[in-house]
Structure 1
Amino acid sequence: MTVALITGANKGIGFETARQLVAAGHVVYVGARDAARGEAAAAVLGARTVQLDVTDDASVTSALAAIDAAEGRLDVLVHSAGVLETGLDGPAASRSFETNAVGIVRVTQAALPLLRRSQNANVVTISSSAGSFWAVTNPERPEFDLSLALYSASKAAATMLTVQYAKAEPGIRFNAVEPGTTATDMTAAFGIGRPAAESARVVVRLATLGPDGPTGTLSDEDGLLPW
């Protein structure tokens, strides 16, 4: 039975990804910064939960230690925790990169010993085509007119981390995904996006790749994306 950990899984795409993996028979750990919200989400989903703040080393170490003690391995890691800063200053930049990029490193490093014990390990990073140089410089793409400098820059970093981890850990598949414009707390101010359950299907597809699946890619529901 596959063991999965999803960061930021008490709401949005992470929550719906957890729902779909649980429905498919996976053991799923809801990672949530707020323990009470994580417990509430897990109860709804029929999942398990760990308190996990991707910006805090002790929290991450404790969460992975708990999964190690209970399961002895990790088969799927989904990096879903993220922030969208609309401002452009030092504090906003720190928040953006601490969660969207540094958090990926913090959690991945703690999870690697467990992932290496899996016979079919997949790591999926919810990134964005807003971090694709190809997309933001292409007048035919909606990202061309998107003015979210910190979000785009931090997601470009997230995709690069995915590629570098894929090169460093050939026994584990690392892939980044553009899930599609989704109606979540992050996009509420813009009033845009499709239901999170639709976008979660894109994440689940990568989270359940077989041993011959791709690694080191950025893709959306239609296939590989240049970046």
Structure 2
Amino acid sequence: MTTTHHRRVAAGGLVLGPLLFTLADLLRRLIEPTGINSATTITRAVDQHRGAWLAAGLLSVASAYCFVAGVAGLITTASGRGARFTTVGAVLTGIGAVASVGHAVAFYSPYALYDTARITASDIEALDRASETSPLLIAIVVLFMIGMMVGPVILLFGMLRGRRTPVWSFVAAIVFVACGSTSGAAAGVLAIAAALAAFIPAARSLTAPSPIRLQHPAVQGSIQPR
């Protein structure tokens, strides 16, 4: 596989990763009841939308692999102005993407299992509270949140400094992160648009032809008029 093919794969990952991630999040928002939810109410909602809930979980997991492929391409091509920010942001985003797999399994699976097992509401709430004190789950959630909330902003800031992406791509990254901590389906739709606006220019920077610098030969001697 040539360098060009590697860059195309990475560019595809930079588009598919954010797209699948935000689509999964939108499905989750549409399934979860509005307002303050308990583990019991979410379990009941999942029972009515089993297929969509499974799809959301699978999309979330798939997005992680795409994200990692994409940011790996940005790390290997980072150079010059903004390279340090780009690399740090890409690494953080990659860490967040890897952690998102554990986060997706820990979030999407239990509610489906609660319903399948037909356990009581009190048991559901007890298990949910116990999960919030698990050191492993806490570590995964922290890595996920830091990686996916801080990483993209630093990444796109570095690419902006390197003039690889426009300023509105950096602004879109901030909107993308802000939507993640905002409830409601409208925020989920906006997150999709913001994610694409942020990462498509980053993907294009991997496939766009590099500018050719003309090498001017040194002039030896002087040109005498005839």
Q: Same fold by TM (over 0.5)?
A: no
- Comparing both chains, which one has the higher relative contact order based on Cα–Cα distances under 8 Å and sequence gaps of 6 or more? 2
Q: When you count strand as a share of all residues, which structure comes out higher?
A: 1
Q: TM-score, normalised by structure 2?
A: 0.31
Name which one, 1 or 2, has greater alpha-carbon Rg.
2
